[in-house]
Amino acid sequence: MRAVRLTGRGVALLAVALVSVLAAGRWQLDALLPVAGLLLGLLLLAALAVLLVPRRLAVERSLAVRTLDHGAVTNARVTIVNRSRVQSLDVRWRADLPSALGGPASGAVGSVGPADSRRASADAAVRVSGGSRGRHALGPVLVVVRDPFGVVVRRRRIDDDVDVVVLPRRVPLPRLSAVRGSVTARTGRASARRRGDGEDDVVSRAYQPGDAPKRIDWRTTARRGELMVRQDESVTADQVTVAVDPGTAPGPTEWALVAAASATSHFAHEGHAVAMVVPGSEPRAVVDAGDSVSTALAVLAELSHRDRAPLEGPPPDRRSVVAVIGVVDLARAREWVSALRRSEQVLAMVAGDSGGAVLDVLRSAGWRVVAWDETDDVVAVWSELGREAGRARP
Under the banding of pLDDT at 50, 70 and 90, the label for residue 348 is very high
| Residue 88 or residue 6, greater confidence | 6
Spatial contact of 317 and 184, defined as CB atoms under 8 Å apart: no
Per DSSP, 238 falls in state: T
Determine the average pLDDT of the residues in 119-146. Answer: 87
CA 45 to chain centre: 46
* Top-ranked range on mean pLDDT: pick from 165-174, 245-254, 336-345, 385-394: 165-174
Rounded Cα distance between 302 and 132, Å, is: 11
Instruction: Look at residue 121 and tell me whether its pLDDT is greater than 90.
Output: no
Burial class (CB in 10 A: 0-12, 13-18, 19+), 15: exposed
**pLDDT of res. 234:** 44
| Residue 391 or residue 73, greater confidence | 73
Under the banding of pLDDT at 50, 70 and 90, the label for residue 380 is very high
**pLDDT of res. 188:** 37
Determine the average pLDDT of the residues in 318-346. Answer: 88
**pLDDT of res. 312:** 62
**pLDDT of res. 362:** 95
Neighbours of 225 (CB within 10 A): 7
Q: For the chain, what percent of residues have pLDDT higher than 70?
A: 81
| Residue 167 or residue 239, greater confidence | 167
Under the banding of pLDDT at 50, 70 and 90, the label for residue 82 is confident
**pLDDT of res. 189:** 37
Name the least confident of 73-82, 117-126, 189-198.
189-198
Determine the average pLDDT of the residues in 17-42. Answer: 87
pLDDT digits (tens, 9 = 90+) for 251-286: 557 899 999 999 999 988 888 888 888 887 777 777
Under the banding of pLDDT at 50, 70 and 90, the label for residue 236 is very low
Rounded Cα distance between 274 and 284, Å, is: 8
Under the banding of pLDDT at 50, 70 and 90, the label for residue 233 is very low
**pLDDT of res. 253:** 77
**pLDDT of res. 26:** 81
| Residue 205 or residue 200, greater confidence | 205
Three-state SS annotation for 10-46: HHHHHHHHHHHHHHHHHHCCCCHHHHHHHHHHHHHHH
Nearest to 100 by CA among 141, 73, 64, 134: 134
pLDDT digits (tens, 9 = 90+) for 291-315: 678 888 888 888 766 545 667 655 5
Rounded Cα distance between 362 and 330, Å, is: 10
> In sequence order, what are the residues at sequence separation of 6 or more whose Cβ sits closer than 8 angstroms to the Cβ of residue 285?
208, 209, 210, 211, 273, 274, 275, 292, 296
Instruction: Look at residue 169 and tell me whether its pLDDT is greater than 90.
Output: yes
> In sequence order, what are the residues at sequence separation of 6 or more whose Cβ sits closer than 8 angstroms to the Cβ of residue 8?
none
Q: In what order do the strands lie in the sheet with 67-68?
A: 67-68, 163-166, 134-137
Rounded Cα distance between 164 and 280, Å, is: 22
Instruction: Look at residue 172 and tell me whether its pLDDT is greater than 90.
Output: yes
Determine the average pLDDT of the residues in 358-384. Answer: 94
Mean pLDDT of the chain, nearest integer: 80
Instruction: Look at residue 162 and tell me whether its pLDDT is greater than 70.
Output: yes
